A = this chain, B = another copy of it.
Amino acid sequence: MGTVLVQSDDFSVHKAYDELVSAYPGAALATFTGYVRDVGASGDVHQLELEHYPGMTERILRELGQQAERRFELRGWSIIHRYGCLEVNEPIVWVGVVASHRVAAFEGCQFLMDTLKTDAPFWKREHKTDGSAEWVTANDNDTLRRQRW
């Protein structure tokens, strides 16, 4: 069982974590949080803009979660991903995965991060300190990591 949240508002990593733990106690829990970096693909970043495809995003994330659940025998999982304008140091994405054993928890969490990078319809644009903005281009390493699964 899993939950997907796609939202522009900031979120509490702790609240998301507590919800997972209380639903699935006594297990192994792996999490990943990605934050906005001040140095992006194109240099100094002032703000990060995330465009998304409403509807498709939620559907893809839910499908990836269900795939992970079957494949790694997860007890529970949760994905939160933001869109809109994000400030440096704000969280972009949080993935939490609960399994009976640590290897499954780690693999489920990595699978979700690797697959959502290439499959969920989000597009990043970096707004730089000099006022210019640049779309981030897809990363070949991400594509390769996606293919491993």
Contact = CB atoms under 8 A, between A and B. Distances in A.
A141 B21 CA distance: 26
A44 to B, nearest CB: 12
Interface string A8-25: 000001100100010001
Interface stretch (A32-40, A57-65, A121-129): A32-40
Interface residues of A, number: 30
Number of copies: 2
A77 interface: no
A32 B30 contact: yes
B38 A26 contact: yes
A66 interface: no
A21 B36 CA distance: 12
Nearest to A145: B103
A100 B38 CA distance: 11
A89 B17 contact: no
A106 interface: yes
A71 interface: no
Interface in A95-149: 100, 102-103, 105-106, 109-110, 113, 141, 145
